[in-house]
Amino acid sequence: MIVLRSPDEIKKLRASNRIVASVMGEIKKAIHPGTTTLELDEMAEKLVLDMGGTPAFKGYNGFKHTLCTSVNEQVVHGIPNKRKLQEGDILSIDIGVKLDGYFGDHAVTVPVGKVSEDAQRLLRFCEEALWKGIERAKAGNRLFDVSNAIQVHAEAAGFSVVKVYVGHGIGTSLHEEPQVPNFGEPGTGPELKPGMVMALEPMLNVGVADVKVLGDAWTVVTADGKLSAHFEHSLVISENGPEILSLAA
């Protein structure tokens, strides 16, 4: 069942997502060649706690960190570690926060120093694909109108869309119904209604869409070892179109 959130609940979702956006802003400033993802994770945890939130990924199915940090061919769910980031890497940062019983979720992929033109193009199209999906997240549209807009934008540029991981509803749980695939047939799926809250999160690969999970049981990588990017916003469907909750104020 897809829950429709009340105005009071949406206020709480704004508040948890405000932390997510604010912490992401600080973490982005700290990403340089030589920084480790573990340092970024420790910084993020402190910032979340200072703002009164709880890291939502920490403890989720045994995950031990505040951030998922996925470098280069890693798609999502990378584990922060002591490897120094290098000029030319691309780094996906994903953060979830719980505040007052309500969740926020947001991800970006950023260049570390100067990156290749191919990498820049991947990041640009992945972020644009997210925005194409957001534009379709309007009351009266169907869910897979959103999915299709993401897919069309990505595939027209020659990228492949990861299919086995999807966006999701978000509210009093980190992951709720509906699942929001990054591909689908327009005009199909549940009708979008005011009060629906969801996290859209396209994952785009330069090469094949196939992915595999590493031996750490978390890190998802592309099957062919080519680059992958990931962007995510949490939003609520309102009478006046989508309100993006995880944008910095």
Which residues in this chain contact Mg ion in the complex, by CB under 5 A? 105, 199
Minimal distance in Å, beta carbon 135 to Mg ion?
19
Of 115 and 132, which CB lies nearer to Mg ion in the complex structure? 132
Nearest CA to 180 out of 144, 219, 234, 126 is that of 144
Minimal distance in Å, beta carbon 232 to Mg ion?
5
Q: How far apart are CA 71 and CA 235, in angstroms?
A: 26
SS3 50: helix
Minimal distance in Å, beta carbon 126 to Mg ion?
14
The residue type at 92:
S
Minimal distance in Å, beta carbon 69 to Mg ion?
15
Of 115 and 205, which CB lies nearer to Mg ion in the complex structure? 205
Of 105 and 145, which CB lies nearer to Mg ion in the complex structure? 105
Query: Do the beta carbons of residue 206 and residue 122 sit within 8 Å?
Result: yes
Minimal distance in Å, beta carbon 157 to Mg ion?
23
Q: How far apart are CA 171 and CA 101, in angstroms?
A: 8
Query: What token pair was written down for 22?
Result: 């604010």
Of 166 and 227, which CB lies nearer to Mg ion in the complex structure? 166
Name the packing angle between helices 7-29 and 37-50 (round to 10°).
Answer: 140
Residue 36 burial by Cβ neighbours in a 10 Å radius (0-12, 13-18, 19+): middle
Of 64 and 83, which CB lies nearer to Mg ion in the complex structure? 64
The residue type at 244:
I
Minimal distance in Å, beta carbon 77 to Mg ion?
10
Residue with tokens 């959103």: 146
Minimal distance in Å, beta carbon 201 to Mg ion?
5
Cis peptide bond N-terminal to 181, omega within 30: no
Of 198 and 206, which CB lies nearer to Mg ion in the complex structure? 198
Of 15 and 199, which CB lies nearer to Mg ion in the complex structure? 199
Query: What token pair was written down for 99?
Result: 């505040």
DSSP classification of residue 179? E
